[in-house]
Amino acid sequence: MREEAETRAAVPEAGKMPRHVAIIMDGNGRWAAERGMPRTFGHKAGVEAVRRCVRAAMTRGIRYLTLFGFSSENWSRPEAEISDLFALLRRFIRKDLAELHQAGVRIHVIGRRTGLPDDIVRLLQEAETLTRDNADLELVIAFNYGGRSEITDAARRIAQAVADGRMRPEDIDEACLESQLDTHGFPDPDLLIRTSGEARISNFMLWQCAYSEFVFLPVYWPDFDDAALDAALGEFARRQRRFGGVAAQA
């Protein structure tokens, strides 16, 4: 009972709850290695953590949840591991899509789709199409995503518009560039969480996280649960966000 009371006390009030939480899900491989198991074992456990995280986000009133599923740099991993990750994605969508849809979750996928297997692209499109009218939780999956490549692609589209005469160089501003990002239409993350104890953002949402609050948790992703999320939310509630200004005076 005492532990439950402490957990409830750690959850911030509604007014201090972040609207958008982004998570770098890190530590699957190390979690598995500590148990003498292959990395795939950790990735499977990580899928269960995704399910817990989505449920927890919905019960806490978080409106946007972005999960970093597969980095554009992850292609350098062994081919067998990449194949296993794709297999887990296929299984997750086929098994969980109906349940997510019923729960009112709208799915968005950001990142480059070129180079992905055709069936993966079809599954991602199916998930987005089926859930497009849902509004209880906006679940953003960053897959084959990299912050630098996202900004590069946006700059390339703007440069093409200038070359075609559809835009003048003086028309380019922050709003213009932001309109070309994968996340156009979403609010920037209020809170960025990274698990595993690593303290870096690994090319994730470089533009969008300019004023996000960062919380680095010393827990591997497969162990991420309600208590871990509440700890991060509690830390967020204690932060004073100034967005480049000064603190409000008493």
Residue 118, pLDDT above cutoff 50: yes
Query: Of residues 162 and 91, which shows the higher confidence score?
Result: 162
* Per annotation, catalytic residue among 26, 188, 190, 230: 26
Task: Answer for the pair 19, 64: CB distance below 8 angstroms, yes or no.
Answer: yes
Q: Which residues pair with 22 in a beta bridge?
A: 66, 192
So what's the pLDDT on residue 241?
83
Average predicted confidence (pLDDT) for the chain: 91
Q: Each residue of 119-149: b (16+ CB within 10 Å) or e?
A: ebeebbeebeebbeebeebbbbbbbbbbbeb
| Domains along the chain with CATH numbers | 18-146+189-238 (3.40.1180.10)
Taking Cα atoms as reference points, which of 3, 23, 5, 2 lies closest to residue 233?
A: 23
Residue 248, pLDDT above cutoff 80: no
Query: Of residues 195 and 12, which shows the higher confidence score?
Result: 195
Banded model confidence at residue 2, pLDDT cuts 50, 70, 90: very low
- Asked which of 55-64, 71-80, 163-172, 217-226 is least confident by mean pLDDT, the reply is 71-80
For 120-150, how does the pLDDT look when each residue is reduced to its tens digit (9 = 90+)?
Answer: 999 999 999 999 999 999 999 999 999 999 9
Structure tokens at 46: 């990580």
So what's the pLDDT on residue 78?
83
So what's the pLDDT on residue 11?
58
So what's the pLDDT on residue 10?
53
Catalogue the long-range contacts made by 1-7 (C-beta closer than 8 Å, 24 or more residues apart). Answer: 7/226, 7/227, 7/230
- Asked which of 66-70, 80-84, 232-236 is least confident by mean pLDDT, the reply is 80-84
Residue 154, pLDDT above cutoff 70: yes
| Span 88-106, average pLDDT | 93
**Can 74 be counted among the known catalytic residues?**
yes
For 14-43, how does the pLDDT look when each residue is reduced to its tens digit (9 = 90+)?
Answer: 558 999 999 999 999 999 999 999 999 999
So what's the pLDDT on residue 24?
98
Helix axes 2-10, 226-238, angle to 10 degrees: 40
So what's the pLDDT on residue 54?
97
φ, ψ for residue 142, nearest 5 deg = -90, 110
So what's the pLDDT on residue 73?
80
**Can 26 be counted among the known catalytic residues?**
yes
* Per annotation, catalytic residue among 28, 74, 134, 225: 74
- pTM equals 0.89
Q: What share of the chain is helix, strand, coil (3-state, %, to 5)?
A: 50, 15, 40
For 176-228, how does the pLDDT look when each residue is reduced to its tens digit (9 = 90+)?
Answer: 999 999 999 999 999 999 999 999 999 999 999 999 999 999 999 999 999 99
